[in-house]
Amino acid sequence: MHRLYEKEDLSVFWDSDKCFHSRKCVTGCPEVFDFQRSPWVDLSRGEMVAIWQTVSACPSGALTCCYNHGISIAFDEARRRSVAQDGEKEIGYCLYRETPQGWSIDSTRVDAAYGGKGIAKRLAYKVLEEAEKRGQAVIPVCSYVAKLLRPSEES
Ligand code: SF4
């Protein structure tokens, strides 16, 4: 399961396949991370620094985070994609197709000038999250997403 949580200038990613339930997040920032609650992550309950430190202490890599750098990410169902925008300017996207086997995620692109900011990962997680919530299998044609989904990979 892949989930993307956002708060002001922070995005937190969770990959449940990597979580081995050390509970470091729950003890480190219990108001934010609570497995008894749904959704189990509520970034509005904590301060940025405390959340960042707690996520950084996750021993499995299941929790990761990045700054948003003022870039917004939205799911655009009509155009079968997630899209990244810097104000009015579109600076990236992640495209998928609906197939009988599930959602084929075909490409992820971010303007070169915006590289290294975690935008591709946010775009990919936005589509992965939507696919999973709708019970759709994911077919990772996009090499970036395929790499993201490999058990030992992270980017
Ligand atoms: S700290 Fe990481 S590995 Fe431990 S419970 Fe939280 S998400 Fe899972």
The pick from 27, 41, 60, 154 for probing ligand 1's pocket by mutation, whose C-beta has the most ligand atoms within 8 angstroms, reads 60
Q: What residue type is 13 in one-letter code?
A: F
- Rounded CA-CA distance 109/123 in Å is 9
Question: Atom 4 of ligand 1 has which residue's CA nearest to it?
Answer: 22
The CATH number of domain 2-67, selected from 3.30.70.20, 3.40.250.10, 3.40.30.10, 3.40.50.300: 3.30.70.20
What's 72-149's CATH class?
Answer: alpha beta
Using one digit for the tens of pLDDT, what is the confidence trace for 99-147? 999 999 999 999 999 999 999 999 999 999 999 999 999 999 999 999 9
Q: Identify the pLDDT of residue 142.
A: 98
Is pLDDT above 90 for 152?
no
The pick from 3, 58, 65, 154 for probing ligand 1's pocket by mutation, whose C-beta has the most ligand atoms within 8 angstroms, reads 58
Question: Atom 2 of ligand 1 has which residue's CA nearest to it?
Answer: 58
- What is the mean predicted confidence (pLDDT) over 47-52? 96
- Strands 102-110 and 138-140, by their bridges, are parallel
Task: Find the 2 Cα to ligand 1 centroid distance in Å.
Answer: 14
Is pLDDT above 70 for 155?
no
- Tell me if residue 6 falls in helix, strand or coil: strand
**CATH topology of 2-67 equal to that of 72-149?**
no
- Rounded CA-CA distance 92/108 in Å is 8
Say what the pTM is: 0.95
Q: Where are the domains of the chain?
A: 2-67, 72-149
Phi then psi for residue 110, to 5 deg, are: -135, 135
Q: Identify the pLDDT of residue 52.
A: 97
